[in-house]
Amino acid sequence: MKNLKANPYRLPVSQRIYLFAILQGMLITARHFFRNLLNPRSMPNIGYPEKRRNYSSRFRGLQILTLKPDGDIRCTACMLCATACPADCIHITAAESPNPEVEKFPSEFNIDMLRCVFCGMCEEACPVDAIRMGANYELANFDRNDFIYNKEDLLRAGQGAVSRVTRG
């Protein structure tokens, strides 16, 4: 049966053919094209990866683990970062340290970067400045397993950063 009622959402013919809208869009494209052609400096693009944007030093990227002045890992495996983590992405296994001067150290320290939300709470919670938010934001990988950064990865990311925090 034919619907006798007129469709209130039916557009007028001028709009239904889209011709005017297409011309409008092409005009905008053409305007940008010619503007960039005549004045390439005004282009907002950055030639990544040859050129990079400057981020603030407070930028929160991949976490790094710091070292003590003697070269040992600073982390004491107190698990406050894992406790503070809202995304539940830090997994630490504590163990007796081989160094007799140190009681406890993390035998495993894994961060699942697929879960990490870069909130920085781990850095905030750490009582000994062992974990910091680093500057690296290039975290693409081909395999899900490669997103789990272990202790060695995070120490490497720290590039030997030494924390000089003393206790007391």
Partner 1 sequence: MEKKRVKLTIDGKEIEVDDGISVFQAAVVAGIYVPHYCYHPDLSVAGVCRMCLVEIDKVPRLQISCNTPVKEGMVVATASQKARDAQKGSLELHLINHPLDCPICDKAGECKLQDIYRDFGLYKSRMEYENKVHKPKVQDIGTIMLDAERCILCARCTRFTDEVTKTNELVFVNRGDRTTLKTFDDGPLQNEYTGNLADICPVGALTAKDFRFQQRVWFLDKTDSVCTQCARGCNTQVSYNPKTKKLYRVEPRRNVEVNKSWICDKGRWDYHYVYAENRIKFPLEGATKSESTWHHVFGELNARSMENPKSILVLLSTQLTNEELADAKETLPFMGITQMGWLVDESKVGDVEPYDGILKHRDPTANAAGFQKIFEGAKNPVLDLEATSNLLAGNEVTEVWLLGLEGNEFEWVTEKLPGLLKKRLVVHATNQAPWMESATLLLPNVSSFEKSGTVVNALGRLQKVQQAIPTAYLGRDLHRFLTGLREGGDRAKIDASRFADIFAKKVAPVFLKEAQTWRSLSVMGVSR
Interaction site with partner 1 (CB under 8 A)? 76-80, 83, 88, 94-96, 103-104, 127-128, 167-168
Q: What are phi and psi of 59, to 5 degrees?
A: -60, 140
CB atoms within 10 A of CB 9: 5
Tokens found for residue 55:
């981020």
Comparison of 63 and 76: residue with beta carbon closer to partner 1: 76
Q: How far is the CB of 153 from partner 1 (least distance, A)?
A: 23
Name which of 21 and 95 has its Cβ closer to partner 1.
Answer: 95
Minimum distance, C-beta of residue 126 to partner 1, in the bound complex (Å) = 9
Task: Name the helix (H) or strand (E) containing 16.
Answer: helix 13-16
Of 68 and 139, which has the nearer Cβ to partner 1? 68
**DSSP SS3 for 37:** helix
